[in-house]
C-alpha cells in the first residue's frame, strides 16, 4: 500500500512513528511509509495522541477527523483522515 492513498471520501496514511524524539516533526519517508518523529513517550497512548494532534494541526483539520485505524501498540500505523483528499494531503506534507 502506498504511503498516502484515497479510500472513498477519506485519505489513508501508512505511518512509521518514532516516539521519544526531541521534537514532533515529519521526518520524510521510511520505505513505503511516512516517518513521523513524535516527542511524546510510547506509553499509555501518549505517542498516539501526539501523532494525531500533529497531523490535525499540520493538515488544518479537526482532531476528531484523524483516526488511528490499526497499530495502536506498534510503531507501524494506519491513519484515516476523514473527508480529506489524498492530493491535498500530499501537497501539505510535501510528499
d(CA 83, CA 17): 23
Supply the pLDDT for residue 92. 94
Supply the pLDDT for residue 2. 84
- What's the CATH number for 4-93? 3.30.1200.10
Sequence-ordered list of residues with C-beta below 8 angstroms from that of 14, at least 6 positions apart, any chain: 1, 2, 3, 4, 32, 33, 34, 76, 77, 78
Task: List the pLDDT tens digit at each of the 95 positions of the chain.
Answer: 689 999 999 999 999 999 999 999 999 999 999 999 999 998 899 999 999 999 999 999 999 999 999 999 999 999 999 999 999 999 999 98
On the CB side of 70, CA atoms within 13 Å amount to: 5
Supply the pLDDT for residue 67. 97
Supply the pLDDT for residue 95. 84
Supply the pLDDT for residue 87. 94
Query: Which of 26, 81, 15 has its CA nearest to residue 48?
Result: 15
Instruction: Output the nine-digit C-alpha cell for 43.
Output: 506509553
d(CA 12, CA 16): 13
pTM, whole model, 2 decimals? 0.92
- What pairs with residue 14 in β-bridges? 78
Amino acid at each position: 500500500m502506498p504511503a498516502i492513498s484515497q479510500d472513498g471520501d477519506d485519505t489513508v496514511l501508512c505511518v512509521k512513528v518514532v516516539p521519544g524524539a526531541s521534537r514532533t516533526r515529519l521526518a520524510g519517508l521510511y520505505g513505503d511509509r511516512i516517518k513521523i518523529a513524535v516527542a511524546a513517550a510510547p506509553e499509555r497512548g501518549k505517542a498516539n495522541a501526539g501523532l494525531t494532534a500533529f497531523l490535525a494541526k499540520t493538515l488544518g483539520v479537526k482532531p476528531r477527523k484523524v483516526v488511528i485505524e490499526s497499530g495502536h501498540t506498534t510503531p507501524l500505523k494506519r491513519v484515516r483522515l476523514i473527508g480529506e483528499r489524498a492530493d491535498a494531503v500530499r501537497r501539505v506534507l510535501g510528499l
